[in-house]
Amino acid sequence: MTSLLHNLLLDLKRRGDCILQELAAVENGLRPDFEVHRKEVFQRLTRALGVVDHMLGDPDLADPKLEPNFFMDFKRLSELIVSIEDTSLLILKRCAPEDRFLSSLTQQVCREVGYQDPPPLCGALSFQYFQALIETDIIMTPQIQASDLLALPDLYHELAHFVVFRKRPVLEVPVLALVHKFFADALRKSHQQGSPQTSLDAIRKNSSLWTTLWHVEFACDMVATYWCGPAYGLANVRLSATRGDPYQDSGTHPADDARKTGIECILKLAGEAAAAKEIDRIWQDLKRLSPSVQPPGYAKRYPTQLLEQIARCVYDGCIELGFRLFSEHLPGSAVVGNAITEAWVAFQRDAAAYPAYESSALQTLRSKLPSP
């Protein structure tokens, strides 16, 4: 009698083979950049199914000492296959005009900012704003993103997720070191001062939030600002306005107010203190509209000094990685970057006339994007 794991592997193989067939069927007529992604996914899935075959033929598969470890391998393979089905196959089968436009646009952004890896494929299929899906090299955007220049800076944030993940030693690890040191120092100081247990617990809690996921979000914001400039800060204000309380945070995301401070730190390092000040002015206006107040302990949770240190670290990391600062483009070379900056200028100048401007600007942008 075959084991449960053996049967699960057979089922996974059957499912993977189905996806492989579908990937083969969409080959005809795909645009070159979509075809590159299809080929890569096809090869990756073929390799994964090769591993499944290898496991199925392994004489030790049912050995009680090894079986739990084989099962763990099964889970990772299953996760990969499900991810390919839900993301790559979905975009490749649809390959709608907006997916093609956004993918071309992402490729152009990658050229402009000095992104060194193959650009991710883009699909306007998200039901949850922008999503960077690192495992399958895909960015999902809102469905009308192809017609929205003002939100495009968020595409830079998603690209930054790939960079922060892949260039960990240069970007994430030094940031983590700063965060750990900052909170360790705070804890030591509090101990020395005989602070109450609640204060020590609060420092530990803040440290845990920062070191688990927040440092990644701050780093991505900062890389995006380095690439995109003040427009990223403006897009952040616009997005925050739709999300309510600027001081609210969660396990995955720090407060919008603190993220705004992080963005300003990069702008100041880039010599754009005036732009940072203007973003802060708009932010204060937004806070005037919002009834929320800064919660107790907020300043200790988001120390400006730490944000400044991280900004310096990310800024230096961007230089080390050869990324292009938003203000250092040769004239006419930043097709997307300029279109975004000009869109924000037009919107701030006359929001009522902006829709007509955007429609024309998008047409111009489309005409300027090189063929993939």
Partner 1 sequence: MSDLSIIAHDYALNAEFARKFNEAILVLKRRYLLGRVGTGGTEATVEKARAELRSLLESMILALEDEGKPWSADQAQVPADVVDRLRKRLKGEMDENIAELRQTVDKLAGGTALGESAFNALDSVCEAADATASAAFRRLRRI
Closest approach of Cβ 200 to partner 1, in Å? 12
Nearest to partner 1 of 34, 130 (CB atom)? 130
Closest among 96, 224, 215 to 156, alpha carbons compared = 224
Contact range with partner 1 by CB under 8 A, out of 22-30, 157-165, 286-294, 335-343: 157-165
Q: Cβ distance 318 to 266 under 8 Å?
A: no
Length of the chain: 372
Closest among 302, 317, 303, 298 to 175, alpha carbons compared = 317
Task: Say which residue the tokens 């919660």 belong to.
Answer: 295
* 14 sits near partner 1 (criterion: CB under 8 A): no
* 134 sits near partner 1 (criterion: CB under 8 A): yes
Region of 307 on the Ramachandran plot (φ > 0 left; ψ -120 to 50 alpha; else beta):
alpha
* 85 sits near partner 1 (criterion: CB under 8 A): no
Of the residues 30, 44, 56, 126, which one makes contact with partner 1 according to CB under 8 A: 126
Neighbouring CB atoms inside 10 A of 362's CB total 17
Of the residues 4, 10, 66, 299, which one makes contact with partner 1 according to CB under 8 A: 66
Of the residues 22, 27, 79, 285, which one makes contact with partner 1 according to CB under 8 A: 79
Closest approach of Cβ 79 to partner 1, in Å? 5
Q: Cβ distance 172 to 220 under 8 Å?
A: no
User: Biggest alpha carbon distance in the chain?
Assistant: 74
The partner residues of 132 in beta bridges, in order of sequence, read 139
Pair type for strands 121-123 and 131-133: unpaired
Closest approach of Cβ 352 to partner 1, in Å? 27
CA distance 266 to 311: 6
b (16+ CB within 10 A) / e for 124-149: bbeeeebbbbeebbbbbbbeebbeeb
* 285 sits near partner 1 (criterion: CB under 8 A): no
Q: Cβ distance 286 to 237 under 8 Å?
A: yes
Nearest to partner 1 of 171, 335 (CB atom)? 171
Write the interaction track for partner 1 spanning residues 184-203; mark x where CB under 8 A is met and - where it is not: x-------------------
* Residue 123: its H or E element: strand 121-123
Vertex 346: Cα angle to 341 and 347 (nearest 5) = 100
* 217 sits near partner 1 (criterion: CB under 8 A): yes
Strands in 138-140's sheet, in edge-to-edge order, are 121-123, 138-140, 131-133
Closest approach of Cβ 60 to partner 1, in Å? 6
Closest approach of Cβ 88 to partner 1, in Å? 14
Closest approach of Cβ 46 to partner 1, in Å? 17
Instruction: Enter the tokens of residue 203.
Output: 């420092």
Instruction: Enter the tokens of residue 297.
Output: 């302990």
Q: Give the amino acid at 235.
A: A
Contact range with partner 1 by CB under 8 A, out of 6-14, 63-71, 104-112, 331-339: 63-71
Vertex 24: Cα angle to 19 and 28 (nearest 5) = 140
Closest approach of Cβ 159 to partner 1, in Å? 11
Q: Which of residues 160-179 bind partner 1 (CB under 8 A)?
A: 161, 164-165, 168-169, 172-174, 176-177
Contact range with partner 1 by CB under 8 A, out of 76-84, 112-120, 226-234, 344-352: 76-84
Residues that contact partner 1, how many (by CB under 8 A): 53
Nearest to partner 1 of 17, 63 (CB atom)? 63
Of the residues 216, 237, 266, 270, which one makes contact with partner 1 according to CB under 8 A: 216
Closest approach of Cβ 187 to partner 1, in Å? 9
The distance in angstroms from the start CA to the end CA of the chain is 53
Nearest to partner 1 of 82, 353 (CB atom)? 82
Residues near partner 1 (CB under 8 A): 54, 57-58, 60, 63, 65-66, 68-70, 72-73, 75-76, 79, 82, 86, 126, 128-135, 154, 157-158, 161, 164-165, 168-169, 172-174, 176-177, 180-181, 184, 208, 211-213, 216-217, 220, 239, 250, 252-253
